[in-house]
Amino acid sequence: MRKVILGVLICMFACGAAFAADDVIRIGFFNSLTGQNAFGGQLELEGVQLAMKEIPEIIGKKVELVIVDNKSDKVESANAVTRLIENDKVSAIIGSYGSSLTMAGSEVAEVGRVPLLTTSSTNPLVTQDKKFTFRACFIDPQQGAGAATYAIRTLGYKKAALLVDVANDYSVGLAAFFRNSFVKLGGEIVSDMRYNSGDQDFTAQLTEIISKEPDVVLLPAYFAEGAIILKQARELGAKFRFMGGDAMDNPEMVTLAGEAIEGFIYTGFAYAPDMPDMNPVAAKFTELWKKEYPGKETNANAALGYDCYMMYVDAITRAGSADPEKIRDALEATKDLPTVTGVTTLDADHNPQKDIGILEIKDGKKTFVGTVVPEM
């Protein structure tokens, strides 16, 4: 019995150490494919794979995607990136959903001198003072300001309340940036309530907020808690409107929250499968997605995965080489590249300036309302 098990293990090891040809470009992909962030990670992977199917070769070399899971865990994230660089010798890396996971990985990439392009990590600290770390999405200060601008300029709201997940860096950051802009634009924050990820009962906070009679409540939550909050607010007879951030952009959300989500507005990446006046890249992406994954709804995470791959295609083509340092230099010079989520130009901090999309749930369906330029 013991010998059989040993034999099986040795066979597995032998298979694991498979070799690959030399004339390939290896792009590493580390993301949360299991664990609490698995939903976003999986969509981003499908976006990357879709792009890879479209352009399987760059500068005459076949692209090989090396996928590693980080279990939505920081230690695993750092290990995963180390493995990509040292073991798989990748030329470039596409990074993770969840800013803290990307940060753990990017520290390794900086030392290993391999460019890391993050799909959807919006925390400003991710690229701060980094040489090899880039991102394809906007940052939270822009998103928070975008939400505040839209609430005041377009909707004419004056009084806002915050309902923040204090155990979540994304939620705390977004709320802080929203507050700054909202106050600066002449609004007033009437209530600032808190909860922790995993909480189930929000009636105490909601009752307090209802008593302050705000026009709008910012809810920078992930969709699991967000859906419960929306439901409980509706049951308590809340009259105000809810606004959220890109983490609420999830096809499951409407199923979870039911009717309570009607009228919910959130900021997100400027992409939705049903948006009007789609740019040509977005139209192509949507068409390819429908062909490849019929019956599965796409979202901005998948679009960002697609964008990341295309940004590397552009950078590697301009660099004319699969050398990580040359790819880094080319990536840094990314300028006016048409992508699904808008035209991408990376600034000195390696962040793109992208329009903030405004989405609303109308008749139980995600509807793209328009874009907003944040007043910072």
* Torsion angles phi and psi, residue 370, rounded to 5: 165, -170
Regarding 82 and contact with other proteins (CB under 8 A), the answer is: yes
Identified binder of other proteins from the candidate list 24, 54, 61, 125, rule CB under 8 A:
125
Regarding 85 and contact with other proteins (CB under 8 A), the answer is: yes
For residue 83, the minimal CB distance to other proteins (Å) is 5
Regarding 355 and contact with other proteins (CB under 8 A), the answer is: no
Regarding 46 and contact with other proteins (CB under 8 A), the answer is: no
CA distance 74 to 96: 11
Cβ distance to other proteins smaller for residue 33 or 278: 33
Identified binder of other proteins from the candidate list 62, 87, 153, 184, rule CB under 8 A:
87
Give 215-267 as a DSSP string.
Answer: SEEEE---HHHHHHHHHHHHHTT--SEEEE-GGG--THHHHHHGGGGTT-EEE
For residue 74, the minimal CB distance to other proteins (Å) is 5
Identified binder of other proteins from the candidate list 54, 61, 155, 172, rule CB under 8 A:
172
Taking the mean position of all CA atoms in its chain, how far away is CA 48? 13
Environment class of 121 (CB within 10 Å of its CB; exposed 0-12, middle 13-18, buried 19+):
buried
CB distance 161 to 217 below 8 Å: yes
CA distance 217 to 207: 13
16: left (phi over 0), alpha (psi -120 to 50) or beta: alpha
CA distance 346 to 258: 39
Cβ distance to other proteins smaller for residue 43 or 78: 78
For residue 56, the minimal CB distance to other proteins (Å) is 16
User: If we measure between CA atoms, which residue out of 207, 173, 205 comes closest to residue 192?
Assistant: 205
Per-residue x/- mask for other proteins, residues 103 to 122, rule CB under 8 A? xx--x---xx----------
Tell me which stretch binds other proteins (CB under 8 A): 55-63, 80-88, 270-278, 306-314.
80-88
Interface with other proteins by CB under 8 A: which residues? Answer: 12-13, 15-18, 33-34, 38, 66-69, 71, 73-75, 78-79, 82-83, 85-87, 100, 103-104, 107, 111-112, 123-125, 128-129, 166-169, 171-173, 176, 196
